[in-house]
Chain A
């Protein structure tokens, strides 16, 4: 309290300083008059200054003085100011923009005290054992058995659903959760109530929902939303709550809607709803727990593993072959399993490195500009030094100018960053096939303080150096000597050259890495997917969004295939639940039926529910066996499956799979635990671009499982144009049912190009090239600035040489040669950096070597050309020097 009161008093002295100083003066005058020997009273001016020191504002006086002076000086050179601010604002802007995204997606905690929250999952004991979730009964046992280490344990299962009905329907994420779910994350609803324990229980079927805060604000933040009805896959749910504003789900992207686990069956399409949640083998839930405050993660792991062993003994049918493990939860996966902190750290470093390099180049450029400008001001600095301005005082003055520029650049940069953030997010959206809740990417104070503070610091550092350099030389000598000081000035030219070399090498680094990503994007586009890409169309539909139930949905799927087959120009058509090269896939553990150690023998395979002609539509022949028959597409038929060559060889090495039986070891849905006869062997196709290894596939006919979200795949005749066929297909669907939303309609090639894998390469190429381009621009400005400065300082020399008969071309050549030399050094360093960076990034690249000659030759050429162009103009100016003017000028 005393400190606050003292500060307020100090403020009083600041506000009424005129009066206070006057009082001090009068008081001292009186004192002097009273003294016997008034002369003994010292210098009142200095005494007052010392007395004022007690008020604690002298530093501010200096600052105000410096700022005023800086403002006056800067006002006289608008060109310099604009260049400096633009350069720095660009650097600061891209940093804040990128940091906003990185902070929102990678760094900001998603919930309260995240260190205490850990996830629990099952892992197979076999060497390459898969990861799976936890069943509800196992979760209950786990919760009971670990009360000593967890203060709370919750479970959830997240998946895609259709929200709404008719035209407004869209696909989004929904989580079925236990009643204590929000409590574990330290959240209570912003409006309404959390779920009750009754609602969580299997079979409760109390259809209530909590919506996300962003879902609520997108609908006008109307408190009346509570109590309204929401359709999830057509089933009506009553909204009972709105989640807290700062909780957008436990992972990114988060769900728009949460429902109690007991009501989830209302919109999932399983045949025995109550059985699924209640059965011990439905190992699908993600479990998270909050550690008690004094419990370490190791003791929690021990407790969890103990329960896991007990469960394996008590229920070997479902739990043998698996142990329970703990791990920090994943930030980006809503599936059960461990997170990867290392991945987040690497991604953060990688994403922040680019703008940081741009800022570094901007700072080098600023140092360059300040240095060149300082030379122009040598005379002024010399006068001030000779009048008693100390080195520190002069440095502080120059520093203030730097800070003033940085502050202005910070404001401009902040505005730029809003745009940069928007651009980054816009480039992200098209890849994600659904409307997702991303955490709100507003500037929180961390972004502001972090980015602006960091930028100010950086620019301060880079203006201290030139300032110190400039005020350092015995400034007084500058007053006496003015012209013809080439030798002494060379030192600072060398510094200028070093700065340019730095800029050039960093630009090479960014451009070369951009080139590597570009090459990746090109080779990804040219990659062989294992099937025929041309003349293929994909149409993604979700009849659930139009309110179709299972019976109508099944009919619609078959009817649509028939209608498409009848369209002239369509050679083959099929329907499937998943598509190669899509961001989200579904997989199952498949094992030979009837073996004792099924868990251990299981192979993870992509699971696809398909109609007839799947292989034909991809332009592939069946390797063995037959396609599905029409009867097998209807429910109740004999369970059959087609496996691909790869799965067949893994399950029955060296033996034919045809006619044998497979079983689905765990997982959800009606096929769980069911055995199926293998009737055909399909060729292997790749499922993702980033993973060149083919992945096993298992195909089951439509009859075995119903899903409302399906994709039609069409192979069209060679004489048809893609565009015309896309229009026809869309018309046929509209004629079938106007309300049926078309989620996706594009050619196979476009689908591949807009997939997540391709996007990574293209985003890498775009972002690195953009950052590289900005750095290149800054480097060119740097080269130009230094060359211009050198030429202007040597006007006299050039004048003399022209007067004595030097050929203008010789001068041009000399200036260009010097420019070329520093560029070449910068290129050399930059290429070494680029090769090192390429090695580091190898894992992110596709089909490109870090030493790709195209990149390593093309990038330096671009830079060399730009740099020569930048030194060309000053060089030309050198040749046009008029000897008479030049000699008279100094």
Chain B
């Protein structure tokens, strides 16, 4: 998604999966959490968040349920599944391998 120039390509899904590890969240909360946790460095736009969430649903890595929030709204919460956890681990490992390699290259080249 070109609008998220701030995020390295392919990392959005990993970030979404990561913030869902601790607790189930709805769409808005996911975007908020990513911003908070990154100290406003990373921002997720709605235009890419929702396609990404739909993709995660189709892949079976998250499950969605409707729930009444504390403020009394109907919100759709996303919960990590077992295969989602596996996928997250795989993506983190892949990400580390990649950044590690880039680091090495940046230092030694």
A interface vs B, CB < 8 Å? 2, 5-6, 9-10, 13, 23-24, 26-28, 30-31, 33-35, 41-42, 47-48, 50-56
Contact of B47 among A10, A30, A33, A47 (CB under 8 A): A47
Known: A23-B76, A26-B74. A54 touches B51 (CB 8 A): yes
Known: A6-B60, A30-B26. A51 touches B73 (CB 8 A): no
Q: Are A56 and B50 in contact (CB under 8 A)?
A: no
Q: Are B28 and A34 in contact (CB under 8 A)?
A: yes
Contacts of B60 in A (CB 8 A): 2, 5-6, 9
Contacts of A48 in B (CB 8 A): 50
Known: A42-B46, A55-B58. A31 touches B51 (CB 8 A): no
The answer to the question of B54 belonging to the interface, with a C-beta cut-off of 8 Å to chain A, is yes
How far, in angstroms, from A56 to B26 measured CA to CA in the complex? 23
Contact of B74 among A30, A35, A41 (CB under 8 A): A30
Contact of B27 among A9, A10, A27, A53 (CB under 8 A): A27
How far, in angstroms, from A674 to B63 measured CA to CA in the complex? 92
How far, in angstroms, from A42 to B76 measured CA to CA in the complex? 19
Q: Are B47 and A50 in contact (CB under 8 A)?
A: yes
Closest 9 CB pairs of A and B: A54-B54, A51-B50, A54-B55, A34-B28, A31-B28, A27-B76, A51-B54, A51-B51, A31-B27
Smallest CB gap from B3: residue in A: A42
How far, in angstroms, from A34 to B33 measured CA to CA in the complex? 14
How far, in angstroms, from A92 to B74 measured CA to CA in the complex? 58
How far, in angstroms, from A534 to B58 measured CA to CA in the complex? 84
Known: A30-B26, A33-B73. A6 touches B59 (CB 8 A): yes
How far, in angstroms, from A26 to B53 measured CA to CA in the complex? 15
Contacts of A9 in B (CB 8 A): 57-58, 60
Q: Are B50 and A24 in contact (CB under 8 A)?
A: yes
Q: Are A31 and B46 in contact (CB under 8 A)?
A: yes
Residue-wise interface mask of B (57-78) relative to A, using a CB-CB cutoff of 8 A (1 in contact, 0 not): 1111000101000000111100
Q: Are B28 and A50 in contact (CB under 8 A)?
A: no
How far, in angstroms, from A626 to B23 measured CA to CA in the complex? 115
Residue-wise interface mask of B (76-104) relative to A, using a CB-CB cutoff of 8 A (1 in contact, 0 not): 10000001000000000000000000000
Smallest CB gap from A56: residue in B: B58
How far, in angstroms, from A694 to B92 measured CA to CA in the complex? 87
Contacts of B59 in A (CB 8 A): 6
Please, how many residues of chain B have a CB less than 8 angstroms from a CB on the other chain? Answer: 22
Contacts of B51 in A (CB 8 A): 50-51, 53-54
Q: Are B58 and A13 in contact (CB under 8 A)?
A: yes
Contacts of A54 in B (CB 8 A): 51-52, 54-55, 57-58
Smallest CB gap from A27: residue in B: B76
Q: How far is the CB of A61 from chain B (nearest CB, A)?
A: 15
B interface vs A, CB < 8 Å? 26-28, 46-47, 50-55, 57-60, 64, 66, 73-76, 83
How far, in angstroms, from A26 to B66 measured CA to CA in the complex? 11
How far, in angstroms, from A50 to B46 measured CA to CA in the complex? 11
Q: Are B73 and A41 in contact (CB under 8 A)?
A: no
Known: A23-B76, A30-B73. A47 touches B58 (CB 8 A): no
Contacts of B28 in A (CB 8 A): 30-31, 34-35
8 cross-chain CB contacts under 8 A: A23-B66, A27-B27, A28-B46, A30-B75, A31-B46, A35-B28, A41-B46, A47-B50
Interface on chain A toward B: helix, strand, loop, or mixed SS?
helix
Contacts of A52 in B (CB 8 A): 54
How far, in angstroms, from A41 to B27 measured CA to CA in the complex? 13
Smallest CB gap from A7: residue in B: B58
Contacts of A35 in B (CB 8 A): 28
Contacts of A51 in B (CB 8 A): 50-51, 53-54
Contacts of B52 in A (CB 8 A): 54
**Residue in B53, B54, B60, B73 with the greatest tally of chain A CB atoms within 10 Å:** B54
Contact of A42 among B47, B55, B74 (CB under 8 A): B47
**Residue in B46, B47, B55 with the greatest tally of chain A CB atoms within 10 Å:** B46
Q: How far is the CB of B2 from chain A (nearest CB, A)?
A: 12
Q: How far is the CB of A579 from chain B (nearest CB, A)?
A: 75
Given A27-B27, A33-B73, A50-B50, 16 more A-B residue pairs with CB atoms under 8 Å apart are A5-B60, A6-B59, A9-B58, A9-B60, A13-B58, A23-B66, A26-B74, A30-B26, A30-B75, A31-B46, A34-B73, A35-B28, A47-B47, A54-B51, A55-B54, A55-B58
Q: Are B27 and A47 in contact (CB under 8 A)?
A: no
Contacts of A50 in B (CB 8 A): 47, 50-51
Smallest CB gap from B54: residue in A: A54
How far, in angstroms, from A6 to B59 measured CA to CA in the complex? 6
Contacts of B27 in A (CB 8 A): 27-28, 30-31
Q: How far is the CB of B87 from chain A (nearest CB, A)?
A: 10
How far, in angstroms, from A33 to B58 measured CA to CA in the complex? 26
How far, in angstroms, from A602 to B26 measured CA to CA in the complex? 97
How far, in angstroms, from A481 to B75 measured CA to CA in the complex? 57
Q: Are A10 and B58 in contact (CB under 8 A)?
A: yes
Contacts of A28 in B (CB 8 A): 27, 46, 50
How far, in angstroms, from A777 to B83 measured CA to CA in the complex? 64
How far, in angstroms, from A35 to B27 measured CA to CA in the complex? 11
Q: How far is the CB of A727 from chain B (nearest CB, A)?
A: 82
Contacts of A5 in B (CB 8 A): 60
**Residue in A6, A31, A48 with the greatest tally of chain B CB atoms within 10 Å:** A31
How far, in angstroms, from A5 to B46 measured CA to CA in the complex? 28
How far, in angstroms, from A55 to B58 measured CA to CA in the complex? 7
Contacts of B53 in A (CB 8 A): 51
How far, in angstroms, from A41 to B28 measured CA to CA in the complex? 11
Q: How far is the CB of A437 from chain B (nearest CB, A)?
A: 54
Smallest CB gap from B27: residue in A: A31
Contacts of B55 in A (CB 8 A): 54
Q: How far is the CB of B96 from chain A (nearest CB, A)?
A: 23
Contacts of A55 in B (CB 8 A): 54, 58
Smallest CB gap from A13: residue in B: B58
Contacts of A34 in B (CB 8 A): 28, 73
Smallest CB gap from A43: residue in B: B47
Q: How far is the CB of A36 from chain B (nearest CB, A)?
A: 11
Q: How far is the CB of A796 from chain B (nearest CB, A)?
A: 54
How far, in angstroms, from A33 to B26 measured CA to CA in the complex? 13
Q: How far is the CB of A587 from chain B (nearest CB, A)?
A: 73
Smallest CB gap from A51: residue in B: B50
How far, in angstroms, from A28 to B46 measured CA to CA in the complex? 9
How far, in angstroms, from A53 to B50 measured CA to CA in the complex? 10
Q: How far is the CB of B103 from chain A (nearest CB, A)?
A: 32
How far, in angstroms, from A13 to B55 measured CA to CA in the complex? 12
How far, in angstroms, from A344 to B21 measured CA to CA in the complex? 67
How far, in angstroms, from A54 to B52 measured CA to CA in the complex? 8
Contacts of B75 in A (CB 8 A): 27, 30
Contacts of A41 in B (CB 8 A): 46
Contacts of B50 in A (CB 8 A): 24, 27-28, 47-48, 50-51
Contact of A47 among B26, B46, B57 (CB under 8 A): B46
How far, in angstroms, from A53 to B55 measured CA to CA in the complex? 9
Q: How far is the CB of B81 from chain A (nearest CB, A)?
A: 11
How far, in angstroms, from A822 to B33 measured CA to CA in the complex? 75
How far, in angstroms, from A35 to B35 measured CA to CA in the complex? 14
Smallest CB gap from A49: residue in B: B51
Contacts of A2 in B (CB 8 A): 60, 83
Q: How far is the CB of B108 from chain A (nearest CB, A)?
A: 38
How far, in angstroms, from A400 to B53 measured CA to CA in the complex? 33
**Residue in A41, A42, A51 with the greatest tally of chain B CB atoms within 10 Å:** A51
Smallest CB gap from B52: residue in A: A54
How far, in angstroms, from A34 to B76 measured CA to CA in the complex? 13
How far, in angstroms, from A49 to B60 measured CA to CA in the complex? 21
Q: How far is the CB of A49 from chain B (nearest CB, A)?
A: 10
How far, in angstroms, from A34 to B29 measured CA to CA in the complex? 9
How far, in angstroms, from A23 to B54 measured CA to CA in the complex? 11
Q: Are A6 and B54 in contact (CB under 8 A)?
A: no
Q: How far is the CB of A557 from chain B (nearest CB, A)?
A: 83
Smallest CB gap from B48: residue in A: A50
How far, in angstroms, from A26 to B73 measured CA to CA in the complex? 11
Smallest CB gap from B1: residue in A: A50
Q: How far is the CB of A21 from chain B (nearest CB, A)?
A: 11
